[in-house]
Amino acid sequence: PSVFGSPMLPLPSCATFADDGFPEDESLEEDAETPAGPRRFELQHESIHAASLSLDDESFSRSALGAGLTPIVDGVLYLGSAKDVGDAAACAALGIGAHLCVAKDVAFPAHAVASDVPTLHLPLRDAADECLKEHVDTAIAFIDEQAAAGRRVVV
């Protein structure tokens, strides 16, 4: 079975939609006394909202932006920037054994090339019109093959 093979659960229907495409859910209606939508969430969760607007150095290091190689599927799939993937010690510490590069203008790190680990390069552009659909099956097959061989993959 695929790393991604778990079936999708149906999402609950939370609101009905009018012909104009907007929700009919009255809880989203806003008036002067009762804010709705994002404003209501902001007021109900003011501490979360305030904290998300400012990151000090300590918060940044704990955020996804400063996390380095991030596990997506524990023990199998990790995500990282080109800088993070280039850190041979970090990759070794996590037991990374395969590299999937999805950026047209990024090469595999020297440590991956030198160690002759399995690699796959999908030269995707960072553009809204890039067609990802034609590469998904190839990427998933590579990840599944590496996982079946006991290798951890970094993208």
Average pLDDT over residues 113-129: 92
User: pLDDT digits over 122-145, tens only?
Assistant: 999 988 888 888 999 999 999 999
Highest mean predicted confidence (pLDDT) among 8-12, 132-136, 146-150: 146-150
Q: Are residues 144 and 82 in the same domain?
A: yes
Q: Are residues 105 and 31 in the same domain?
A: no
Cβ pair 4, 137 in contact under 8 A: no
Range of the domain at 30: 10-54
Amino acid 142: pLDDT: 95
> For the chain, what is the domain count?
2
Judge whether 131 lies within some domain. Answer: yes
Amino acid 33: pLDDT: 63
Q: Are residues 99 and 145 in the same domain?
A: yes
Distance from the Cα of residue 150 to its chain's centroid: 22
Q: In the structure, what pLDDT confidence band is assigned to residue 119 with cuts at 50, 70 and 90?
A: very high
Amino acid 127: pLDDT: 87
User: pLDDT digits over 18-45, tens only?
Assistant: 554 444 555 445 555 666 655 665 665 5
Q: Are residues 44 and 85 in the same domain?
A: no
Q: Are residues 76 and 115 in the same domain?
A: yes
Q: Are residues 84 and 117 in the same domain?
A: yes
Q: Are residues 82 and 39 in the same domain?
A: no
How many Cβ atoms are within 10 Å of 130's Cβ, its own excluded?
13
User: pLDDT digits over 40-99, tens only?
Assistant: 656 655 654 454 455 455 544 444 445 688 888 878 999 999 999 999 999 999 999 999
State the CATH number of the domain containing residue 124: 3.90.190.10
> If residue 100 lies in a helix (H) or strand (E), which one and from where to where?
strand 96-101
* pTM for this model (two decimals): 0.58
Q: Are residues 46 and 98 in the same domain?
A: no
Cβ pair 111, 99 in contact under 8 A: no
- Asked if the model's pLDDT at residue 10 lies above 50, the reply is no
Amino acid 102: pLDDT: 93
Query: Would you call 123 helix, strand, or coil by DSSP?
Result: coil
Q: Are residues 72 and 145 in the same domain?
A: yes
How far is 107 from 1, CA to CA, in rounded Å? 30
Q: Are residues 94 and 34 in the same domain?
A: no
Judge whether 24 lies within some domain. Answer: yes
Judge whether 62 lies within some domain. Answer: no
Distance from the Cα of residue 81 to its chain's centroid: 11
87: its two tokens: 């850190």
Judge whether 4 lies within some domain. Answer: no
